[in-house]
Structure 1
């Protein structure tokens, strides 16, 4: 029986500061984000085969491609994340002559706002690191994933997702020029985390979006010194500080208000972050008892989260039924990227 190398990395929700990890804002002003990883994962498996062939399969997308070993795989818009990681690791560390089958699966749809693409890249790097015994630490893997996505594949986006997936847990992250990132794990009391988990509703709007377009617009607004957009990002950075303090001190009654503040600011960052459907869903949830919420990720679709204090969660769930979306059960997880072989 051939050896199989496996990995999994957790998806995340951003709780505050979203968008301030994107260049050039983070290079010019410094960014700050507070996020938490969930029991939803990106999975990667590499199985060694006896033929000089490389098979790439995205199981959840029903996509498959085959290549010959020993050559760089052209990135053509099809399975590019898988091929991009393979190409970069082959270039930097070399690959054995044996063939293999790399298969992936993500527990949430692409474009859903939980960091699926970056988390998948981290998981794939993890599987190759397990196979090749690469001496990579958490910061190394996260930065490597960022370079592959942003530089090799030219995909627009920020830096938080790669670090959340690699480190895991609840983290306050700081972003500076020259791609410098500092991850500060937060020691939040267990009862506060349980209450946060109980009260935060994860709702999938059943629409996805291409985050790159929204993020490109956001970056252009900073380059063009759009005052409204930059001021919104300053306010979101301040929101991350407020969220950190509320969680550490157990002032959970403030969470909804802090999220609502961020929702109002985020609209000003770029066109397309919110839309009429998102606004209607948001107002419906608030009328049913939610005290605040946010659109997850870059915006425009995907998941939304709502803070539902006391016993309001089930009322909020009922009120959202008419929109045809789905609530998703989850738990917070402390572990980041995990790899193993058998």
Structure 2
């Protein structure tokens, strides 16, 4: 089908607050939050471009869908993709691009049917797994929005244990180091550790899982001090057990702490990319401006980006206002502790 009106798909990126790799190692928890640094895929009415003129990802995603949705034409429609998130930074910009293409290409005006969010997340995971052999945190995070507590699985999408809206009174500050990460080699190396039973990996999994529990408790309780403390633990586990950080990233962490008192955690693995911190919304403008000034003299290539959280697409439980409220696990309210 040829679309008769513009189609736009807008997808958030995500920050990992704790538990890198645990989404695919299995037996551990991770926490993500979707950020309103969006990627947009837009299709305008008109004939499909020549096969060679189409973007590589567009061709590959269309070919994947062509096998699953009978009736699609041989070539994808002309699509333009733009992003507000820094690329190769550990904020899932590549996954956001892929999901945006899946959303645009499965629009009912092209397919004649509705494709639900669960299917979009699963297909996007299967498509990207064939390339990177990684996990599914990113796909769930950008499809579902909000904050997610995930239980990892060695194959397939992780299980969503709980969902929350990120507190409105907080903002995420992204510090983009300007150094690219290498996720493909990182995943290869960690899979080799897993196969050999490396004790360093086991120690990391235990420390990161505990940090994820503390991060989620702080989110539920709107405890900003507890959250930043738990995120620091998560970063230290990445750095000390798995060498995911670098001297340059640690230098930036120290500068942010001294300049504005903002603890930073690396988001994503691969030896580079962005770090994230959380501060009150009412102080974020001043925090960002002071940090930019502190970085401008010696680290002009480093970007500082304030980012509100992207809203959840599904109904989530509100943060409890009284200690009698029990946690949500697996979608069901649990009784409060006596």
TM over 0.5: yes
Q: Which runs of 5+ in 2 are unaligned?
A: 315-338
Q: 1:3 to 1:292 in 2, by over 3 A?
A: same
How far apart are the structure 2 equivalents of 1:102 and 1:257? 43
Of the candidates 225, 240, 246, which is equivalent to residue 197 of structure 2?
225
How far apart are the structure 2 equivalents of 1:40 and 1:306? 15
How far apart are the structure 2 equivalents of 1:80 and 1:107? 20
1:280 aligns with 2:259: no
Query: What secondary structure is seen at the aligned counterpart in 1 of 2:170?
Result: helix
Q: 1:35 to 1:133 in 2, by over 3 A?
A: farther
Q: 1:307 to 1:47 in 2, by over 3 A?
A: closer
How is 1:270-309 mapped onto 2 (pairs within 5 angstroms)?
Answer: 270-271=242-243, 273-290=244-261, 292-308=263-279
Of the candidates 152, 158, 163, which is equivalent to residue 140 of structure 2?
163
Say how many residue pairs are matched. Answer: 303
1:194 aligns with 2:168: yes
The answer to whether the 8 A contact 2:137-2:157 is kept is no
How far apart are the structure 2 equivalents of 1:6 and 1:247? 32
More strand by share: 1
Q: Which runs of 5+ in 1 are unaligned?
A: 56-64, 68-78, 338-342
How far apart are the structure 2 equivalents of 1:148 and 1:134? 21
1:89 aligns with 2:89: no
The answer to whether the 8 A contact 1:43-1:104 is kept is yes
How is 1:1-342 mapped onto 2 (pairs within 5 angstroms)?
Answer: 2-22=4-24, 25-26=25-26, 30-50=27-47, 53-54=49-50, 65-66=52-53, 79-94=55-70, 95-96=72-73, 100-130=77-107, 131-151=110-130, 154-187=131-164, 193-197=167-171, 200-268=172-240, 270-271=242-243, 273-290=244-261, 292-308=263-279, 313=287, 315-321=290-296, 322-324=298-300, 325-335=302-312
Alpha-carbon distance, 1:42 to partner: 1.5
The answer to whether the 8 A contact 1:36-1:171 is kept is yes
The answer to whether the 8 A contact 1:46-1:102 is kept is yes
How far apart are the structure 2 equivalents of 1:226 and 1:116? 30
Q: Over residues 156-183 of structure 1, what are the superposed CA-to-partner deviations in whole Å (9 max), with x where a residue is unaligned?
A: 4321111111111111122224415322
How far apart are the structure 2 equivalents of 1:134 and 1:54? 26
How far apart are the structure 1 equivalents of 2:312 and 2:11? 8
Q: 1:144 to 1:269 in 2, by over 3 A?
A: farther
Q: 1:106 to 1:180 in 2, by over 3 A?
A: closer
Task: Please give the TM-score of this superposition, normalised by the length of structure 2.
Answer: 0.80
Structure with more contact order per residue of length (Cα contacts < 8 Å, sep ≥ 6): 1
**Alignment RMSD, CA only?**
2.6
How far apart are the structure 2 equivalents of 1:99 and 1:231? 46
Task: Please give the TM-score of this superposition, normalised by the length of structure 1.
Answer: 0.80
